[in-house]
Every structure is written in C-alpha cells, then in structure tokens.
C-alpha cells in the first residue's frame, strides 16, 4: 500500500525496512510488532489498514491543503 | 545457488510476462562491491540480497539490476537517497521514491515482487477519494514500513 501511494504522489516516498537487519532503526521507532508504519516520524500505526485509513494517516502526517484548486 | 526452485521461478516469470508494463531497474547498494569484500554478517547479507535480485532480474527482460558500492559510489547513493545498506531503489518509468532496505527473503520476497509490478505499471488503481487527498498534500510524506521475513 505504501508503495502505491508513493507511485501515485510525487510528495510521497516509501521505504520498506526489514526490521531485524536494521535493529538501530527498529529500536528508534519502537518496532515490537510488524508491519509497523511510521510517517514523517510523527504518525504511526501497527498492522495492515484499508486504503482509506492509510491515506488518512498520510494526510494527518503531511497535512492537506484546503480550499479550491488554483485557477488554470 | 538458486533461491527459487524451478516451479517458483516459472511462476514469477509468468507474472512478470503478464503484468510488467514499463521496464524496472533495481538500483542495488551494498556496503562494497566487486573483489573487495568487507568481513562480517552485513557483507554476507548484502551478497545474498544481490544474488536474489540478480535471480529476479534474470526472469524478465524488463527487469534490470545495477549493483553499486556504497563506499565506491557515494554520489550514486546520494542520488537515490540511500544512507544504509543493503538497499534497493526500485525505479520504473520514473523514480517514485520506493526503496527496499534489507534482504527480500521469506514473505518479503512476495512484497518485492508486488512492488516491482506496481512500479512497472506506474498507475495505481486507488480510489478517487484517495487520489484527491494525495493530490492536495501540504508537505512531503515519508512512509517507513517495518517488516520481518517471517
């Protein structure tokens, strides 16, 4: 799912990290169960999520511009 | 040594044939490359990873492997934003910012295959509502997905 969001949006990038090979990183983010997802070091959750919920977490971490789109 | 048995290799080859659209390049970074081997588990893990990727690339003319050394090619590592190894940048028609850190073994092998296919297709089948939100993100989003092979 993370990769799909990265493919869709140039503002999203996705790292898949094998936790046992990078124990220092896993420890830094308190990875005790997988999959654990961390977005911008500010938003995190554990376990698979449906697309809408996952996108919601991304929006929470990165913020969403409100208001009408700029005129063409 | 082959990681995939004949049956699995045939399965992957068929999926690649049916589903790959654009070419995909696996830009792989090991701590080092070539004749100079660093001792220790990290180097061994990286070498296994390179062998797995090499096997995957051999299953489709659309999948390519470029192996880099983090030590010898720091500018390439910087270009792909790679800071630790083993790392694989999965590049399709463009660089979508998808990276795989570690060895894609066990369940993660399946994850790697899906990511290669998704990157190759380049146009994910997301809900319109998702696309709309992603199109309005105020800042960049760096998603890290922590996984294990078992």
Six-digit token string for A71? 């005129």
State mean pLDDT over B54-69: 97
Query: How confident is the model over B91-105, as pLDDT tens digits?
Result: 999 999 999 999 998
Q: What is the pTM of this model?
A: 0.92
Predicted local distance difference test score (pLDDT) of residue B78: 96
Which of A57, A67, A54, A16 is closest to B126 using CA atoms?
A54
State mean pLDDT over A6-19: 97
Query: How confident is the model over A14-60, as pLDDT tens digits?
Result: 999 999 999 999 999 999 999 999 999 999 999 999 999 999 999 99
B16–chain A nearest CA distance, Å? 18
What does chain B look like in DSSP terms, one character per residue? --SS-HHHHHHHHHHHHHH--S-EEEEEEESS-TT----SHHHHHHHHHHHHHHHHHTT-TTEEEEEEETTT-HHHHHHTT--SSSEEEEESSS---EEEES---THHHHHHHHHHHHHHH-S----HHHHHHHHTBSS-EEEEEEE---
Judged against a pLDDT cut of 90, whether residue B43 lies above it is answered with no
Nearest CB among A7, A9, A38 relative to B144 is that of A38
Q: Which residues of B touch A35 (CB under 8 A)?
A: 145-147
Q: Which residues of B touch A23 (CB under 8 A)?
A: none
Query: How confident is the model over B105-144, as pLDDT tens digits?
Result: 888 999 999 999 999 999 999 999 999 999 999 999 999 9
B11–chain A nearest CA distance, Å? 22
Residue B38's pLDDT band, with cuts at 50, 70 and 90, is: low
């Amino acid at each position: 799912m993370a990769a799909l969001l990265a493919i869709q949006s140039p503002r999203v990038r996705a790292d898949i990290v094998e936790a046992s090979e990078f124990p220092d990183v896993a420890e830094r983010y308190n990875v005790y169960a997988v999959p654990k997802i961390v977005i911008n070091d500010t938003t995190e959750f554990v376990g698979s999520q449906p697309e809408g919920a996952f996108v919601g977490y991304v929006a929470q971490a990165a913020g969403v511009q409100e208001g009408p789109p700029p005129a063409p | 040594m082959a990681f995939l048995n004949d049956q699995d290799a045939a399965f992957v080859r068929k999926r690649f044939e049916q589903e790959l659209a654009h070419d995909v390049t696996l830009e792989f970074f090991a701590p080092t490359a070539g004749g100079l081997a660093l001792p220790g588990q990290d180097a061994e893990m990286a070498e296994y990873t390179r062998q797995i990727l090499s096997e995957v690339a051999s299953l489709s003319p659309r999948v390519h492997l470029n192996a880099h050394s983090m030590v010898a090619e720091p500018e390439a590592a910087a270009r792909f934003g790679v800071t630790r190894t083993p790392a694989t940048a999965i590049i399709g028609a463009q660089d979508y910012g998808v990276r795989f850190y570690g060895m894609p073994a066990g369940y993660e092998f399946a994850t790697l295959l899906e990511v290669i296919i998704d990157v190759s297709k380049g146009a994910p089948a997301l809900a319109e509502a998702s696309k709309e939100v992603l199109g309005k993100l105020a800042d960049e989003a760096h998603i890290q997905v922590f996984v294990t092979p078992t």
